[in-house]
Amino acid sequence: NAGVTQTPKFRVLKTGQSMTLLCAQDMNHEYMYWYRQDPGMGLRLIHYSVGEGTTAKGEVPDGYNVSRLKKQNFLLGLESAAPSQTSVYFCASSSAYEQYFGPGTRLTVT
Amino acid sequence: KNEVEQSPQNLTAQEGEFITINCSYSVGISALHWLQQHPGGGIVSLFMLSSGKKKHGRLIATINIQEKHSSLHITASHPRDSAVYICAAHTGANSKLTFGKGITLSVRP
């Protein structure tokens, strides 16, 4: 099993550009999450999903959209990137309590 | 005030020392996680506990539900234990976690 994978691992965007981050899990988990990690802030929840076709806002959802069309995939979109979105993004999946994290995507917006 | 607080923020130890990292929380929880993140690396779950104590190798995690406090102990510390240790609490529905800011541990040889 690959566990939780994220694509891409690194990306540099210019302000105003758009992109989509892909998270995939092969553990048949219902719950999936997108977090961002910034120095001195800890992990913060952006959006999450409790099952295929569902999404919900987390702590810091502004500027991001998500979709969960298939159970195994959770997409995070940035429609118009801003320098404040420079961060490391982690995806995670969970069946109940234990969360499994992806390797992270380092995004820089210039 | 953060719902999950960790102390100390940074910690330096000599190889072989016994290390304690603390986590306190201000809300009701159903479970608490300890996570490890090496520099530039991913996040790995070390423990999930809702009561008592768990041990894995040189790592021991304890939780006191009444005092809303958990500790992670590292015995016979080694430079490879250098990492960020994050405490996270299950505070509500949908398996969502509330994270502490993490503690950066550096173990010197």
Closest partner CB to A40 (pick from B30, B86, B101): B101
pLDDT tens, residue by residue, B29-65? 888 999 999 987 889 999 999 899 999 999 999 999 9
Local structure of residue B64 (DSSP, 8 states) = E
Contacts of B102 (CB under 8 A, 6+ apart): A42, B6, B37, B84, B85, B86
CA atoms within 13 A on the CB side of B18: 3
Taking all residues of chain B, what is their mean pLDDT, rounded to a whole number?
Answer: 91
A71-107 pLDDT tens trace: 999 999 999 999 999 999 999 999 877 889 999 999 9
pLDDT of residue A6: 97
What six digits make up the tokens of B89? Answer: 């609490």
Per-residue pLDDT, B19? 96
How far apart are the C-alpha atoms of B11 and A10, rounded to whole Å? 30
Set of chain A residues whose Cβ sits within 8 Å of the Cβ of B44: 101
Per this entry, what is the length of chain B?
109
Task: Please answer whether residues A45 and B96 qualify as being in contact, where contact means their C-beta atoms are separated by less than 8 angstroms.
Answer: yes
Judged by CB atoms within 8 Å, which residues 67-96 of B form the interface with A? 86, 88, 90, 94-96
> What token pair was written down for A60?
């810091």
Contact across the interface for B95 and A96, Cβ inside 8 Å:
yes
- Residues in A whose CB is inside 8 Å of some CB of B read 31, 33, 40-45, 48, 50, 56, 58, 90, 92, 94, 96-104
Note the pLDDT of residue B97. 87
CA of B16 vs chain A CAs: smallest distance (Å)? 28
Nearest residue of chain A to residue B9 (CA atoms): A40
Give the mean pLDDT of B70-88: 96
B10 touches chain A (CB under 8 A): no
A44, A90, A99: residue with CB nearest B45: A99
Do B43 and A101 make contact, defined as CB atoms within 8 angstroms? Answer: yes
The pLDDT, as a whole number, for residue B1 is: 59
Residue A55 pLDDT grade (very low, low, confident, very high; cuts 50, 70, 90):
very high
pLDDT reading at B68 higher than 90: yes
> Are A90 and B33 in contact (CB < 8 Å)?
no
Q: Are B31 and A97 within 8 A, CB to CB? A: yes
